[in-house]
Amino acid sequence: MHAFDLIVIGSGPGGYRAAVLATLRGLNVAIVEQAEWGGCCLNRGCVPKKDWHHTAQLVAASADYAQRGISGVLKADLAIAWEHQHKVVATVRDSYTDYMKRLGIGAYTGTAAFVDAHTVAIGETLISAQHIVIATGSSPLIPTDYPRTPERILSSDDLFDLPPPSGRRVAIAGNGVIGTEFAFILSQLGCEVLLLGNSKPLAHSQFSPPALKILHTALNRPNIVLLPRPQHVELTGEGVKLSFKDGRSEQVDWVLLGTGRRPHTAALRPELAGVALDSAGFVQVNAHLQTTAAHIYAIGDVANPRMTANQALADAAVAVANIVHPGSRRRAAAAVPELVHSAVELGRLGINEDEAEDAELEAAVGFASFESNPRAVGQDDIAGFVRLIADMDSGELLGAEVVGNEAGEIIHSIAQQFGHTDALARLAGSFYNHPARTEEIQNATETLAAKWGLGKQVFGA
C-alpha cells in the first residue's frame, strides 16, 4: 500500500488546485479521478460552456457590424461549435495532466471508496494518507417527469459528452443559471429555444431588480420563447411533446435539462471514514472545511451549496492552508465572485440590500452606468453598470454587482479589495486605464461617498 501526506478525491477545479497547492507546499500528494481528468468544469461545464458563450457573443454582436463598416452576417454551426469546444477541452486537459506529472503528483484513475478514515481503495489498489480532501463534485439533477433519453432529453453533461442531436427546436427545462446561460448560447448557435420555468430567468438569485431587468431585456430575442413548466413530457417519434396547463402543446426536437445539480458521493462510502452527510446529501463541513472526521476535508460542489468552480477553487486554498497550518483560514463564500454568462454578463459578490437589512445594516448604494463610458460607447454595448453596497455607518463594503460586457473580469478588481475594512478607499485610490469599463468602479465609489456622506471613509477627509 502506498502512503501519502494527502489524498485528493476528484480532479475538478477544486481537487486539482488542492493537489497542486499542497504539492507546492511540500506535501506528497495523490489525486484520484474516476472519469476524465479535470472533472465537470473542464469537460462538461464552465470551460466548454464559456467557449460556446464566446462564439454566441460574436454572433450576437454581428447584428451591429454594419454601422461599423463591416459587411456580412455571421451564422453559427452548432456541430462545428461543439467540435471547437471539444478541442479546447482536450488542450486544457493535456496541460493539466502534464503539470501534475511535472510536479510529481501521484495520479490514480478509478472510483475511490473509503476503507477506513485514512485508507482509500481504487479497485484493488489501496492508498493511505494523513489527510484526505473530498472533491467529488456534483452530478445533474434529473427530474422524474423528464425521462433522460439519448438524443431526446439530455443533461448538460450529455450535451458536452456527445455531439448535439439533430434538430434545432430545443426546450430548456429550468431557468436558473444553467438554463439562462444555455438559452442565449443555443439561440445564437442556430437553435429556436423554448425556456421553461414558472418564473423569469434568475428570479430566485441574489441579483438586483435592475440587473435582472437588463438580463430579461437582453433575452427578449425572436428565437427565445419563455414558457411555464409543462404538466406532461412525452417522447414521440418526432422528438418530445410538451403539454401545458392551459391545453397548449409544443413539439421540440430535444430537451436540455438545466434543472440543477446534486452533490456526488456515489460509491464513496464516507460513513466508513466517519464522514457525515447532511439531509441534502452534502458533506458536512465546518468553517475550516473539516468534515466530521477532522483530518478529512471536503471542498467544492460536494460540500458547497453555491456549486461553482469559483467556490471550489477558493475552498481548495482554504483546505490546504488548514492542512499545513491548522485553523489558519476560514471559508468566506460571500467574498467569492458569482458569474452568469448569458445574453448579458452578470457578476456579484458579498450581500445585497435585502441581506443587509436582515443583518440590521443600513445599506448605502453607489451606482455608475456604462451608458456614457467611452469604452462601452466605442463597443456599441452600453447596457449595464457597476453597483456597490456599503454599510452607511462604517463605510464597510458589503457587496458589489457588475452587469454588462466584461463583467466577469471587472468583478475581480472589486473582489481583490473585498473584506478589507478600507475597501472603498482602496477602490477610490486605485489607478485605472482609460478608456476602460473598469473606471466605473472608481466612479461608483465616488458617487457612493458623495451621496451618503462617506467622504471620510473613502477619501480620508
% pLDDT > 70, the chain:
100
**Same fold across 2-140+262-334 and 153-259:** yes
Q: Is the pLDDT of residue 205 over 80?
A: yes
Pick the more confident residue, 382 or 72.
382
CB 37 within 8 A of CB 101: no
Residue-wise pLDDT tens digits, 23-60: 999 999 999 999 999 999 999 999 999 999 999 999 99
202 contacts 215 by C-beta, under 8 angstroms:
yes
**Residue 84 in 3-state DSSP?**
helix
Domain ranges across the chain: 2-140+262-334, 153-259, 344-456
Between 72 and 52, where is the model more confident?
52
How confident is the model at residue 460, as a pLDDT?
81
- The residues with which 345 forms a beta bridge, in sequence order, are 341
Instruction: Kindly state the cell numbers that stand for 96.
Output: 493539466
Model confidence band, residue 461 (pLDDT cutoffs 50, 70, 90): low
**Domain at 153-259: CATH code:** 3.50.50.60
pLDDT at residue 245 tops 90: yes
Of 188, 198, 186, 199, nearest in space to 254 by CA: 186
CATH number of 2-140+262-334: 3.50.50.60
* Residues ≥6 apart with Cβ < 8 Å to 82: 163, 164
Q: Give every CB contact of residue 80 below 8 A, 6+ residues apart in sequence.
A: none
Q: What is the DSSP string of 398-416?
A: EEEEEESTTHHHHHHHHHT
Average of per-residue pLDDT across 106-114: 97
Q: What is the pLDDT of residue 457?
A: 85
The CATH architecture annotation of domain 344-456 reads: 2-Layer Sandwich (3.30)
Overall average pLDDT of the 303-315 stretch: 97
Higher pLDDT, 427 or 72: 427
Say if CB 149 and CB 165 are below 8 A apart.
no
Cα–Cα distance, 286 to 87 (Å, whole number): 39
* Mean pLDDT computed over 382-391: 97
Using the predicted structure, report yes or no on whether residue 328 has a pLDDT greater than 70: yes
pTM: 0.95
Map residue 395 onto helix, strand or coil: coil
Q: State how beta strands 153-155 and 345-350 pair.
A: unpaired
Whether 64 has a pLDDT exceeding 70, the answer reads yes
Least confident of 60-74, 129-143, 418-432: 60-74
Q: What is the pLDDT of residues 167-198, one digit of tens each?
A: 999 999 999 999 999 999 999 999 999 999 99
The predicted pLDDT at position 204 comes to 94
